[in-house]
Structure 1
Amino acid sequence: MAMWIQAQQLQGEALHQMQALYGQHFPIEVRHYLAQWIESQLWDSLELDNPAEEAKAKRLLESLVSELQKKAQLQGGEDGFLLKIKLGHYATQLKSTYDRCPLELVRCIKHILQSEQRLVQEATNASDGGQAMDSLSQRHQQINQAFEELRVSTQDTESELRKLQHSQEYFIIQYQENLRIQAQLSSLSSLPPAERSQRETSLQSKRATVEAWLTREATTLQKHRLDLSEQHQKTLSVLRKQQTLILDEELIQWKRRQQLAGNGGPHEGGLDVLQSWCEKLADLIWQNRQQIRRCEHLTQQLPLPGPMEELLSKLNADITDIISALVTSTFIIEKQPPQVLKTQIKFAATVRLLVGGKLNVHMNPPQVKAVIVSEQQAKALLKNESTHSESSGEILNNNCVMEYHQATGTLSAHFRNMSLKRIKRSDRRGAESVTEEKFTVLFESQFSVGGNELVFHVKTLSLPVVVIVHGSQDNNATATVLWDNAFAEPGRVPFVVPDKVLWPQLCDALDMKYKAEMHSGRGLSEDNLVFLAQKAFSSGSNNPEDYRSMTISWAQFNRESLPGRNFTFWQWFDGVVELMKKHLKPHWNDGAILGFVNKQQAQDLLLSKPNGTFLLRFSDSEIGGITIAWVSQPHRERLVWNLLPYTTKDFSIRSLADRISDLNHLLFLYPDRPKDEVFAKYYTPPLSKAVDGYVKPQIKQVVPEFATQNPEPSGAASTFMDQTSSPSFSHPSSCVYPSMTDTMLDPDGDFDLEDTMDVARHVEELLRRPMANQWSSQQS
């Protein structure tokens, strides 16, 4: 409700814009009386292009109607009678309007809330008069001021054009009068001489007066036309400058934000603002174009000596070029196809024409076609060397009609069920692999405006996509996409990226990716980045300054293996990201995982701490592995031990928190936090009692050499995996397990998963035996 309170305080043009958001599609009274309910709903959680979300949207519609009906019933007394009827009517109206298309209601309300937020923010910025505005606010103010200038100048030329038309019409009337006088003079020959002489003198005097006026007025008209032409030239100059600012700066920046969002950057916003600017441009351009055409018509009606025809012809060509550039540039991809595209898998995309509603393109809805093209084909298209759509593959369901959404004023095409059936690859260069080959999805359409007066063929290319046929290629394909998204430059030749970049630039890209996957503000610290630099450059320096001027190449990033390993720098990093994302995200966000620490650093950190202190670090030797390092003194010598790394397969069997809970010799998470204080909230609750006479086994891990320091009941200290019975049945004889040797543990050691699973299966067989017999045999 806070947003609505602020929106009601808007003034002037901002208030007018806010009021214009509402209408029959969503009455402003509904917004007012249900403000709190509307702002408390999670509208942004619904994907408008996903038909599966329709059920949620339907429930929101039903809730909205129900809330309106409740509000109507609460109205009482004489003053509330009319409001009760009105709110009841709105409930029925909304139900009828959106019952078959509930997602349109969500689209409408999202648009209203986003627009209100923008208007309130702009008003807040404007009210900070004495404070320095940031560059974004300054640019927006500059754009809005230019629109006001254009509006005024367009009104002025419209006024001058009407004056010119009125003057020309009067001129034509006087010209016809002159012709009538001339005809009368010609007819005097049939009159008697005395009468002819008298009338001839009068008509000649009148003709002279009219002709003198016509001569003067012709000069005035010509000057008026030239002045109007000059005004139009000035307006076109401002229009061109405004369009350049919006299309070549604001829209390009939006596209850049959209690309960085592919690496986990902030979700690109502001498209509705861009659309409002583009629609204003389209409206002003169209008005000026119509004025110029009317000038041409007036010139054709009354040709006068001078350069007007050439001037108007040039003005017409210039403004046609301006509107063509606007239309072709505002055909954009609102929702990009996935940049790692797997064949035979369904994917979606959305294209949008930002000026479609203003130019009434939806009156004859255009069809959009999608084809996949290679990098070379994309280059040819942008150089206009290719006019037809060559394809490098076959996309199913690649045609879609653009739809106009009345509530938001958007014209878009939603491709919901595309699928890449096959791909045709080109010859690769040098060491380039299939996961380094880039394609793009080309969207194209054709439509007309002004009653087929202008016909536009529009095209737009998606961000680069890498096509894979197997999930094992996903890792390397993601590397290609991340490098391209991070280091592509605006206006590049498709899809050129630098082969080398500064290390800090790559750090920014890795940090952005990591934060996005962790869904938190805790990204990579400077120490983490130093660790990564040491890995990437095989360096031992701990000074971050040593790496600031260093460059890293694509080959170092994801083509050449790390020294002594069979994987690349990116493959190692991506393995960490995948492990964290799937299993360890809460622990990272809690600060429980140190992670980016090598074995020697872990030893240095732990040896100064009490026995039982441990930390979690990522494995150097295994992709997507994490190990526990701890300090202990099982015999005479005090050492730092490391378990064999856990991987995602291990955590799908038993969680990290439960594994740490199992190991009694782990006492404090580095530097000094009791482990239960950190991990207890993630422990799995105890198993329930036996059902139908069966006891459910539970896997429990033990490190043999250290288990004896804190012995477990039932002799479990000698095993790797302890199958614990439920609390309802607990007896030493019910847990019979083979002992395991401790040769699997060394300073890098942990239990082996296959061996432990053999133990687990053996215990399951034992537990399937009749428990009563075991009990009686033990008693005897």
Structure 2
Amino acid sequence: MSLILKLQQLQGPAIQQMQLLYQQNRFPMEVRYYCAPWIEAQQWGNIDTDSPSSEPAATILLQQMIQQINEKAEALTGEDKFFLRMKLSNFATELYETYVNDPLKFVRVVRHCLEKEQRLVDQDTNGVQESMEQVMPVPDSHNEIESTLQNLKYKTQSQEKQLSDMQQKQELFAVKVQETRCMLENALDQMQQQYPQQDDPNRRVEFTRFNQKKMEVNSVLQTEAQQLMGMRIQLADMHKETFMLLSQVQSKVLNDELKIWKRQQQLAGIGCSPEGSLDILQSWCESLAEITWQNRQQLKRIEQLKQQLPMNMPAQEMPDLSNSFTGLLSALVSSTFVIEKQPPQVLKKETRFSAAIRLLVGGKLNVHMNPPQVKATIISESQAKDMLHNENANFNDTSGDIINNSGVLEYHKDSGVLNVTFRNMSLKKIRRADRRGTEFVTEEKFTLLFRSHFSVASGELMFQVRSLSLPVVVVSHGNQECNALATILWDNAFGDCSSGRVPFAIPDKVPWPDMAQALNSKFMAINGRSLSNENLQYLAMKAFSGQSVQTDDFNSMYISWSTFNRDPLPGCTFTFWKWFHGVLELTRKYLRPPWNEGSILGFITKEHAQELLLTKQTGTFLLRFSDSKLGAISITWVNEDPTTGERQVLNLLPFSSEDFHIRSLADRIHDLPHLTNLFPDIPKDTAFGNFYTPVDEVLPQSGDGYVSSVLVSKIPQITAPQSYAMENPGSVEPASPQQQPQNREQDFVNFTGMDDFGEMLNDRDRDEPQLAPDISDLLKDFDTFDMMDPTLL
């Protein structure tokens, strides 16, 4: 059953979560429904969304998606479908405009939605526990922030009206004072001219009247002045209240929500998809910037009014809030200079990589009117510590040279985003610190420092902004990548960048449940299906196999970095992480479809597999990851000796990536008649039939004169089941005692149930040069050449 049909069977909260999922990711559900077959047929997971080299493939998918939408729209006929046709056409246009400049983001969104859908289906049908990332309803904190911002906007508007009224009243008061002064001066001059004699009784009478009138006027003016004073105090109280409320909500946005987003961005490095939207954060930050700027401008106008009409006011009644609002604005701008797209955390020298920087408040502050430049440099862990503790640190002191490391912030009018994307950066040179103790090169961390400076309000305010990337590990060769990924996984999972930690401090050991959660997220993100509790229990037993553990309850145990990726597993030359990474990559490259179908048990010990299979009929098999070989999987099955009737569990020499590059797992299983049912009792054609290579893909090519041949897996030492031989005459030959196993993995069977010796031989064969096989050995498999002259061979 297709995923879209399973989604239509969801009920209750699952439906609401699915609707919320598409709303948050701004991906139309109508497109998901009408283009479902095409969407589900694409290999979204094969595109590395962190690599610029994947952009052409992502662009092709975007173009094909738009074509699919247009075709579906054209196929809808009838008047009742007119609006739906228009809606689909608009969706096609919106998708193109949204993602044409960032097709990798389009792939991330679609892949994220499909993964969430699968988890909703799993949860609804199988009761599978969700992992770290969950589709959550809108938190109450978001509603609280929205409500507070609306309240602040209303308060700011009220202050603006109050300020306008006060300004008008002050202007009228100033005019009245001036008019009164002129009136009194004119009356005094007229009285002095009319009664020039000082001892004139009439003059004294008029002066008495004049003084009385003056006192009355002064009393009126004093009353109006007191009213103005009251309006100033009231407005000051309003601004003080606004500042307190603004400080609180800004703290929630920057210290809570933005840090949560940064933490989720960090957890994306181990497979979690960020739930928070940077667009929502930007809308909040823009509101904060707008409100702060308006209040700051109001305070400047009040200051001008005070200078025009000075009044003696108590200092406590009129605090100087202008600097306080400026401080809020400065903190807001500095904190919202964020890395929208992190650079790859495993950075290979002389390899192109990308990153994107975004200023969340740039549009509201009109920063783009004089576009600032952003520069990227790479610094060491110690330099990052010095920079955070010393404002006067030397920013020119770097640990390497990056080419194409500067760009200009550009404003996108349609989306309101001010950002810069570095598409072609490359690390040309790296300067490493002296290593001490047991530290490896792949444990040394660096970070990319992005910085810029700009001014707003015609140079009134100057800002110096900077942002540090998540830690990166620099490698020069592909064989260092596995260890580098271990360093990055440990840091992403357990070094919370949002908590203000010292770069890049990490714990030396962590609780096993936290490690299990990290491994599960990593595996599920890459391979689609999460690990079961049994899988995680197996991993715990393997991780702690070098320690004397007296219990199977690993929830209270701690795993150290040394146990994770320094100390080799008992009897092996590799660490726990290298083994897990080998399984991860093997599944990603060759086993992902059967893993997602649940056809691979994988994480199970050889002993447990034997116990399970001995209870089943002959020919029942299961697949388990090899314990002693990196990135390999073995087929374990129940066999019955045709002469003695003895049943035993056999283990085929493990297959690795090199083997599956030649022939797939499903085809190898199909080749072997000894395998009949996948554990517990699923016919192998039912379990793997969808993954067999179609026959028409290996038919002879016409017109070139050649006939195609196919490699087929064969186990000459084991006789095929009699029932299979009867149903397929001539397909299986009994193995003669004189037959000797060839040096091929698919021809070797370990009858003791131990594959270590076979793996040792396999490793030896890989290290030693292979001799060309005798042509007679090649031709003897073809009946066509039975009559060839043996002297020719």
Q: TM (normalized to structure 2)? A: 0.78
Indicate the residue corresponding to 2:528 in structure 1.
519
Q: Give per-residue Cα distances to partners, 1:141-164, cap 9 Å, x unaligned.
A: 211221222122112211211121
What code does the residue aligned with 1:317 have? N
- Mark the CA change 1:312 to 1:433 in structure 2 (over 3 Å): closer, same or farther: farther
Three-state SS of the structure 1 residue aligned to 2:553 is helix
| Aligned with 2:177 (options 175, 178, 186) | 175
1:360 aligns with 2:377: no
**Contact 1:285–1:319 under 8 Å retained in 2:** yes
CA contact (8 A) 1:611 1:632 kept: yes
Q: How does 1:142-181 map to 2 (within 5 A)?
A: 142-181=144-183
Matched AA of 1:177: E
Match of 2:775 among 746, 762, 769: 762
How far off its partner does 1:51 sit? 6.3
| SS of the residue 2:358 aligns to | strand
Deviations 1:409-458 (CA, angstroms, capped at 9, x unpaired): 11111111111111111122321111111111111111122221111111
Specify which of 91, 100, 103 is matched with residue 103 of structure 1: 100
What's the counterpart of residue 130 of structure 2?
Answer: none
* Aligned counterpart, 1:612: 619
Distance 1:509 1:215 in 2: 72
Q: Distance in 2 between matches of 1:551 and 1:37?
A: 46
Counterparts of 2:381 and 2:776, CA distance in 1: 58
Structure-2 change in CA distance of 1:435 and 1:631 (3 Å): same
Distance 1:219 1:69, change over 3 A: farther
Corresponding letter in the other structure for 1:167: K
Determine whether 1:688 maps to 2:699.
yes
1:562-711 correspondence runs (5 A): 562-634=569-641, 636=644, 637-686=646-695, 687-689=698-700, 691=702, 692-707=704-719
SS for the counterpart of 1:419 is strand
Residue 382 of structure 1 is aligned with which of 380, 388, 404? 388
- Specify which of 272, 276, 290 is matched with residue 279 of structure 2: 272
Aligned residues: 695
Report if aligned partners of 2:345, 2:472 keep a CA contact under 8 Å in 1. yes
Going from structure 1 to structure 2, the CA distance change for 1:512 and 1:135 (only over 3 Å counts) comes to same
1:67/1:161 CA distance change after superposition, 3 Å: farther
- CA–CA separation in structure 1 for the residues paired with 2:35 and 2:773: 48
RMSD: 4.3
Partners of 1:36 and 1:743 lie apart in 2 by 53
CA distance in structure 1 between the partners assigned to 2:422 and 2:621 by the alignment: 51
CA spacing shift, 1:718–1:312, aligned 2, 3 Å: farther
Further displaced range: 488-497 or 680-689: 680-689
Q: CA deviation at 1:206?
A: 3.2
Q: 2:517 aligns with which of 508, 512, 520?
A: 508
**Alpha-carbon contact 2:156-2:291 (below 8 Å) kept:** yes
**For structure 1, which segment, 246-255 or 691-700, has the greater mean C-alpha deviation from structure 2 after superposition?**
691-700
TM-score, normalised via structure 1 length: 0.79
1:392-424 Cα offsets, whole Å, 9 max, x none, are: 111111111111111111111111111111111
Q: Could you tell me which residue of structure 1 aligns to residue 354 of structure 2? A: 348
CA–CA distance in 2 between the matches of 1:685 and 1:514?
29
Equivalent residue of 1:713, what SS? coil
Q: Larger deviation: 548-557 or 103-112?
A: 103-112
1:701-745 per-residue CA deviation (whole Å, 9 max, x = no partner) reads 21121146566738866599xxxxxxxxxxxxxxxx998598874
Cα 1:535/1:668, change in 2 over 3 Å: same
- Residue aligning to 1:14: none
Deviation at 1:183, TM superposition (A): 3.2
Whole-Å separation in 1 of the counterparts to 2:452 and 2:432: 26
Structure 1 residue 70: Cα displacement: 12
**Amino acid across the alignment from 1:683:** Y
Deviations 1:318-377 (A, max 9, x none): 100111111111111111111111111111111111111111111111111111111111
Determine the C-alpha separation between the residues in 1 that align with 2:783 and 2:555. 68
Give the CA deviation at 1:487: 0.9
**In structure 1, distance between residues paired with 2:433 and 2:586:** 34
Matched residue, 1:335: 341
User: Contact 2:233 / 2:318 at 8 angstroms: preserved in 1?
Assistant: no
Task: Select the structure with the greater relative contact order (CA < 8 A; seq sep ≥ 6).
Answer: 2
Deviation at 1:179, TM superposition (A): 2.9
Which of 250, 259, 262 is the equivalent residue of 2:269? 262
- Label 1:595 to 1:761 Cα distance change in 2 as closer, same or farther (>3 A): farther
Q: Give the corresponding residue for 2:730.
A: 713
Structure 2 match to 1:289: 296
The DSSP-based 3-state class of the residue aligned with 1:698 is coil
Q: What do the CA deviations read for 1:279-321 (whole angstroms, capped 9, x no partner)?
A: 111111111111111111111111111245x876730111001
Matches within 5 A, 1:525-536: 525-536=532-543
Letter in 1 for 2:431: K
Change (3 A) 1:35 1:498: closer
Q: Report the Cα distance in structure 2 between the residues aligned to 1:39 and 1:684, rounded to whole angstroms.
A: 30
**Paired amino acid for 2:652:** L
Contact kept, 8 Å, 1:534 with 1:541, in 2: the verdict is: no
* Residues 1:406 and 2:419 aligned together: no
In the alignment, is the contact (CA less than 8 A) between 1:257 and 1:266 conserved in 2? Answer: yes
Report the residue type matching 1:649 in the other structure.
E
* Distance in structure 2 (CA, Å) of the matches to 1:107 and 1:467: 24
- Output the CA distance in 2 between the equivalents of 1:333 and 1:212: 62
1:316 aligns with 2:325: no
Matched-pair contact (CA < 8 Å) for 2:35–2:69: no
Deviation for aligned residue 1:580 = 0.6
Name the SS for the 1:546 alignment partner. coil
Structure 2 CA distance, aligned partners of 1:112 and 1:532?
Answer: 31
C-alpha displacement at 1:223, in angstroms? 2.5
Which whole-Å CA distance do the structure 1 matches of 2:658 and 2:665 have between them?
12
**How far apart are 1:746 and its partner, in Å?**
4.0
CA distance in structure 2 between the partners assigned to 1:774 and 1:476 by the alignment: 56
Report the more deviating stretch, 452-461 or 147-156: 147-156
Would the aligned equivalents of 1:160 and 1:228 in 2 still touch at CA under 8 Å? yes
Taking structure 1 as reference, are residues 64 and 674 closer, same or farther at Cα in structure 2, changes over 3 Å only? closer
SS of the residue aligned with 1:567?
coil
Cα 1:378–1:313 change in 2 (3 A) is: farther
- For residues 432 and 111 of structure 1, do their structure 2 counterparts lie closer, same or farther at Cα, with a shift above 3 Å needed? closer
Q: Which runs of 5+ in 1 are unaligned?
A: 1-21, 23-30, 114-132, 721-736
Equivalent pair of 2:55/2:104 in contact (CA under 8 Å): no
Partner residue in 1 for 2:458: 451
Amino acid in structure 2 at the alignment position of 1:448: S
Task: Check conservation: 1:335, 1:350, Cα contact below 8 A.
Answer: yes
Over 3 Å counting, the alpha-carbon distance change for 1:696 and 1:515 in structure 2 is same
Equivalents in 1 of 2:623, 2:580: separation in Å?
Answer: 16
> Where do residues 110-259 of structure 1 align in structure 2 (5 Å cutoff)?
136-184=138-186, 187-188=189-190, 189-193=192-196, 200=207, 203-259=210-266
Unaligned segments of structure 2, at least 5 residues: 1-25, 111-134
- Tell me, yes or no, if the aligned pair for 2:650 and 2:749 is still in contact at 8 Å: no
